[in-house]
């Protein structure tokens, strides 16, 4: 979810479901070492529970990144072993690390020694022609032996040459049964399934076989979907708020962020799908898209967009 699940997005999604665990977009350990950790790791306390996803392959740098993340207050540090982009491969991390399970295990050991919060791994079920169940099981066993007991499984293999990152999200076929089999073979591990989940019924079906589900694009493109999962995330009452009230709740946050130097367009871009499937949804998207980027744009843009929804209804 690079460039998608930034802190503005996570604050917005938290309003829709107080119980789900949120994950940051991937932050590289090198960026934290050489850059501005305070800015890169900034998040709002209302985001809890929230996990920091780290990219890297150097155990010392990954341990440093984990320490910084834990000190910043993150509830979990997750190692990205799933991203297939060329840029990530050139840095020797992401999905290509499935071919180097001992390296991932070394990172887990170093990170677990550095922090007390859980260290988890997000991975694919295989890469290129290394896509047998035995390959996946061996990778998981090696990393689990280093102390990782939670794996988020994107139920597609990654094709590291010949497909773009976008194509890698859709072209390789989903294989949920392989993830189910892994959970059955390793009941001591927490296995979370990711990939292609778009309905509550699918969530319920998967949860009968694994310990959790991770939802990415569906939650971003149609964020209201998260309200349908509140009870699955342990939330019992209060009543689900209206879409309009979610916008109203965002106003204080938007004002605060704008005062701190943020631009409205960087916040509202995550809200474009809030009214998907509702009367006036296109009017909402269009008004935000055309006006949020204007110099000096403030919360009046959101209020005006809401008023156009009322006209459309």
> What is the DSSP pairing of strand 76-81 with strand 22-23?
unpaired
Interhelix angle 243-259/299-312, nearest 10 degrees = 160
Can you state the percent helix, strand and coil of the chain, rounding each to 5? 50, 10, 35
What is the rounded CA–CA span in Å between residue 89 and residue 150?
23
What is the rounded CA–CA span in Å between residue 56 and residue 59?
8
**Residue ranges in the chain assigned as alpha helix (H):** 7-16, 29-34, 37-40, 59-72, 86-90, 101-114, 133-145, 165-168, 176-185, 200-207, 217-221, 243-259, 264-268, 281-291, 299-312
The answer to whether residues 111 and 57 touch, using CB atoms and an 8 Å cutoff, is no
User: The tokens of 208 are what?
Assistant: 């009968």
Instruction: Using alpha carbons, select from 114, 5, 96 the residue that is nearest to residue 56.
Output: 96
Neighbours of 18 (CB within 10 A): 14
Of 83, 107, 148, 203, the active-site residue reads: 83
- In the annotation, is 83 catalytic? yes
Backbone angles phi, psi at 105, to 5 degrees: -60, -40
Q: Which residues are catalytic?
A: 83
């Amino acid at each position: 979810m690079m460039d998608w699940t930034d802190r503005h997005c996570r604050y917005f999604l938290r309003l829709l479901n107080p119980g789900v665990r949120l994950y940051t977009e991937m932050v590289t350990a090198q960026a934290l070492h050489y850059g501005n950790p305070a800015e890169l790791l900034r998040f709002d306390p209302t985001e809890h529970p929230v996990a920091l996803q780290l990219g890297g392959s150097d155990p010392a740098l990954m341990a440093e990144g984990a320490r910084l993340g834990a000190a910043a207050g993150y509830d979990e540090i997750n190692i990205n072993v799933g991203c297939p982009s060329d840029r990530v491969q050139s840095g020797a991390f992401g999905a290509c690390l499935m071919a180097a399970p001992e390296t991932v295990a070394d990172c887990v050991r170093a990170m677990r020694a550095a922090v007390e919060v859980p260290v988890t791994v997000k991975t694919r079920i295989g890469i290129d022609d290394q896509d047998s169940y035995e390959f996946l099981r061996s990778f998981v066993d090696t990393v689990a032996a280093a102390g990782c007991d939670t794996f988020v499984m994107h139920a597609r293999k990654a094709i590291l040459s010949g497909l773009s990152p976008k194509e890698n999200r859709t072209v390789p076929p989903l294989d949920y049964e392989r993830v189910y089999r892994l959970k059955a073979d390793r009941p001591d591990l927490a296995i979370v399934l990711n990939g292609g989940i778009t309905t509550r019924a699918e969530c319920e079906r998967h949860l009968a076989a694994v310990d959790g589900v991770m939802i990415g694009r569906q939650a971003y493109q149609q964020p209201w979907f998260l309200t349908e999962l509140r009870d699955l995330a342990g939330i019992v009452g209060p009543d689900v708020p209206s879409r309009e009230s979610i916008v109203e709740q965002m106003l204080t946050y938007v004002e605060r962020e704008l005062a701190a130097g943020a631009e409205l367009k960087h916040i509202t871009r995550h809200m474009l799908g809030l009214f998907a499937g509702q009367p006036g949804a296109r009017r909402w998207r269009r008004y935000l898209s055309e006006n949020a980027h204007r110099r000096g744009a403030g919360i009046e843009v959101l209020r005006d967009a809401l008023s156009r929804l009322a006209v459309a209804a």
